[in-house]
Structure 1
């Protein structure tokens, strides 16, 4: 082909709107050169529209080279390929070709809003009119069951999370339908739906009105028979009888009967326990309706009480129990503070106990429940035994007929519930293997030899499930705790053995990396062990794990490969872009380049560690810009391998966009949230912690962001003393232990001058900068 290079847009009739890339024109059809080789004068003046029909040259067009036959026809362009998935239970990600991240919806973003304190007379049409200004309404759900409560909770689904967020911001705390409404965003859960964290309820307990009687008996046996006879409900009460010592003395053996109904007299007492004699104490109080009215009145002081339910009798432990639901968590907390611990006259000066209770429920299918059942029951029992002052509890409710088990968490403090939830989710998501508090990992576990090692270990312990997380570089175990301990020790032993070995690096120059991949690499892996030989395609280096003898063996094989293959296959143009040989089990991409299937799989596996996306073809000496189709990756990779590349691409995107995304501040929590223009409070769908987006720390009620230090001041002092600085791009702390002042952030790959923290895209110009600005690379003066 031939054309005359010219870039002047004033002489071209082609605009940005109708411009068609030259490569796409060649795909459509071929064009012979014009009859005359001179440039068209009308085209130069922007007046010729004949394009390929013109007899003179238009410099913005491509023509076939008359000396070459037409190239092979390429297939028509494909429609864009899209892959949708959910990561870490809550994060919805859309990928394009080459595993390019096109869109992320974090677990903090939800289309659901929950409107509380809505008068029961309000209709669906009223709700539509209220919410419609903020976007498209997909669904409105009003309570289906009738209630005597004056207000209700309405669930509304908007078409996008952004619309839901805007509606929440505008409507929360506003006065609508004659009432002050409370609006909150839904909380995403692992089932893919949305649920509202139940944190606006107060559980109340106080003594039921009752009498105490002392019965006398002549023998201990008679007294014990009387106690046994009272272990059944008497009216609305469960009577409690105990041997009494001290005053009053009614018989040889005295029994104290508590929580007797107010209407029990000597005749009823004789029928119930048959004492020889009986003495009475005054009732604690006599009017239950008056006590209920007084408690409700106290709850309503300065708070919006939505519902107040008294649990029906019989009253165990002589306690009346009630639930109060408020318009907001703040109202619930204030009501709890007003009521708990008081000894009001309307309860006969007996104490009232109130707890601000939060609950969240999980639904586990029977298969998953079976894997964690023993540990789950152990966790329930341990939570129940953490002391009487703890309000935390776990309830396990089987629903075998429906094919699932409900697990309900209950806690008084939101942070405590979040910690309990984290304990449960660690159990459900597996035990992360650690040693001395540090996560155990080695790249060996992501390679073929490591995969085989873990598979053999799991076959030896079939009740244990081993799950490796290559993206987050950790291994998780599921199953009984005693068997987990055995498997954990085996993995720690292997990882410790690997970590004690030194890693040597050998550079593979030119085409040697491709020529070295097949027989030479296999021989070296046979000699040293596959876990000790790592080929890094991105950095074109060979990593050898072991002592100096292993390093010498590797250098010898590399040198022999270099001598043997010097100049070989240099003219082979249609070979695999990695090994340059004729493709074995070829996989041909849309660009026309064919790869060995094994080489393409190795390319994907290298991307997991290197995190360099999007993935493009390496044809034309890595100048080909064709992105590798996701369908091709599915065909080449096993399912877990494909998922590993997906998570690596997601992780790389998050780390290279530090201004847009932030990690939840809770330790071990994998969720990310999107930064907001103004400080807002978001609630994590995993650990329930509330996050201030202004300072990216936990919510600090009543404090400005600058006042909520959270220990950062001490950490900053430590950073100054230990030569630790924050990456200017992603803000992750970086420690410089040794080496020159050219630093590369391991998270976002930013190249940094350690002296002035200036950044250099791709590392270009950093050494010239250090020479001219600082006179040294950090390894001593430059000569």
Structure 2
């Protein structure tokens, strides 16, 4: 605004500036102030040198250090400018790695969420990744708003599960071959959607620019049902498997038809025969297996040109370190199946080395598994490997005790002077890793006194009893029994008696205990 002529000063003398910005010096001083509170994992400074202030982002190695920074450094005068104070805020962030084709399909829904997030001051940025993925990052100082934003985005990028008669439409016999994918492409083009087969859960997920009505999903279900033939599963015991190897599979294919029978060997003990056809085809297969007849041409022979997992001619073959060759798709599905195992996670070769059913069983290294798996499948394998490690070290880890939350944190050792604080990435609840209660900003001694009165759970014993929830005696993970017998299997691998909460290493010991101690299951 211009100064009126009668108010203008006669002379103006410019003094020496009270502050000369030096980005390297200034950011270095701020960084040193943070380092006094704990080591940093990351440090970055905004590149806008013309701004009146600069923004810096620090990631501490320990969350307690970040909380100390907020409580002790906020509004602290800065040594390089006596009129300037340091502004510090604790920011919650979340990253979402999304398939590019899924992101493109749901982008209108994401744009609507961005409009809401802008009003709530939730920052959204996109991190460049190699195709076929996109990465979205959310940042917000308000943890409650961040949980709401995460939940909304998770719902969008999870899609809608295809259902039939109110239940998930399963496709246990669907194969991602050329024919199956061609049918899915036709449905996608018809409804302008993206359909992703979730092989691990045997589900179809639908993604689109909006949440579709049930009538639209019903039409998609009908079309998927038409291209997914009726299927039946026969579990093969050791004797049945030896019969398959000696020529039984060739006999089944000759009697029922080449396209109706296939084998899937996921582990050395998990062998299944899939029948694509009617109930009559299934009954005929059961009768043929019981007869133990074989085709003379296949007697005692194991072809090196057959995939060890499906026992069919190799398609897109890959050779493993043990020398045995798999279909590329079969190897991926074998790794997918292993992720659901409750025992120690280990992917081994399932090649039968002789007609008696002896198995190679050589473990595959992580590097060769990575070489032959898609990125998303390999990341799931890493997650399962981590879960397996946790189950073998139950004393070192604890599950977040918020209901329906499956995050894990490492326990603080006994007698720590300052235990760490874990903020769950899923529900953003802050938990002391020593006493396992939520007491942000309060000393752990007080929390331990509280823990003695109400137990080491976010939920009191009275609340858990009212909800029908109990804690695993091995790792404290909350459990709920909705149906079935009193044998519970926790994520940590413990087999638990629901009645008295005794834990066992295997299910057989648990059943024996329930029979003796409680008179049945």
TM range (shorter): 0.5 to 0.7
Alpha-carbon distance between aligned partners in 2 of 1:634 and 1:410, rounded to the nearest angstrom: 34
SS in 2 for 1:468: strand
2:377 to 644, 650, 655: 644
After TM superposition, the structure 1 = structure 2 runs for residues 264-303 of structure 1, keeping only pairs within 5 Å, are: none
Alpha-carbon distance between aligned partners in 2 of 1:187 and 1:576, rounded to the nearest angstrom: 52
Query: 1:674 aligns to what?
Result: 409
Alpha-carbon distance between aligned partners in 2 of 1:450 and 1:181, rounded to the nearest angstrom: 59
Deviation at 1:506, TM superposition (A): 4.0
SS in 1 for 2:172: helix
Query: 1:155 aligns to what?
Result: 57
Query: 1:509 aligns to what?
Result: 238
Question: Residue 470 of structure 1 contacts residue 644 of structure 1 at CA under 8 Å; is this kept in 2?
Answer: no
Q: Tell me: CA distance 1:137–1:490, structure 2 relative to 1, closer, same or farther (3 Å).
A: closer
Query: 1:123 aligns to what?
Result: 26
2:346 to 607, 614, 617: 614
Q: C-alpha deviations, 1:320-370, integer Å up to 9, x for none?
A: xxxxxxxxxxxxxxxxxxxxxxxxxxxxxxxxxxxxxxxxxxxx9998775
Question: Residue 160 of structure 2 contacts residue 207 of structure 2 at CA under 8 Å; is this kept in 1?
Answer: no
Q: TM-score, normalised by structure 1?
A: 0.44
Query: 1:477 aligns to what?
Result: 206
Deviation at 1:555, TM superposition (A): 0.9
Structure 2, gaps ≥5 residues long: 1-22, 79-84, 126-133, 413-418
Q: C-alpha deviations, 1:728-759, integer Å up to 9, x for none?
A: 445352538456x6x36274554445555444
Deviation at 1:509, TM superposition (A): 2.0
1:190 lines up with 2:95 in the alignment: yes
Q: C-alpha deviations, 1:1-25, integer Å up to 9, x for none?
A: xxxxxxxxxxxxxxxxxxxxxxxxx
1:745 lines up with 2:484 in the alignment: no
1:735 lines up with 2:464 in the alignment: no
User: Matched residue pairs, number?
Assistant: 450
Deviation at 1:456, TM superposition (A): 1.6
- Of the two structures, which has the highest relative contact order with CA contacts closer than 8 Å and spacing of 6 or more? 1
Q: Which has the higher strand share?
A: 1
Query: 1:372 aligns to what?
Result: 106
After TM superposition, the structure 1 = structure 2 runs for residues 454-603 of structure 1, keeping only pairs within 5 Å, are: 455-462=182-189, 463-471=192-200, 475-481=204-210, 488-490=217-219, 492=221, 505-510=234-239, 511-512=242-243, 514-515=245-246, 519=250, 537=267, 538-542=269-273, 549=280, 551-561=282-292, 568-569=299-300, 578=308, 587-591=318-322, 593-597=323-327, 600=331, 603=334
Deviation at 1:615, TM superposition (A): 0.9
Q: C-alpha deviations, 1:147-175, integer Å up to 9, x for none?
A: 667xx654346xxx63x546425544235
Question: Residue 691 of structure 1 contacts residue 698 of structure 1 at CA under 8 Å; is this kept in 2?
Answer: yes
Larger radius of gyration, structure 1 or 2?
1
Alpha-carbon distance between aligned partners in 2 of 1:506 and 1:566, rounded to the nearest angstrom: 25
Question: Residue 471 of structure 1 contacts residue 651 of structure 1 at CA under 8 Å; is this kept in 2?
Answer: no
Q: CA RMSD for the aligned pairs? A: 6.0
Q: Tell me: CA distance 1:415–1:477, structure 2 relative to 1, closer, same or farther (3 Å).
A: same
Q: Which has the higher helix share?
A: 2
Query: 1:315 aligns to what?
Result: none
Alpha-carbon distance between aligned partners in 2 of 1:498 and 1:774, rounded to the nearest angstrom: 51
Q: Tell me: CA distance 1:646–1:768, structure 2 relative to 1, closer, same or farther (3 Å).
A: same
Question: Residue 583 of structure 1 contacts residue 596 of structure 1 at CA under 8 Å; is this kept in 2?
Answer: no
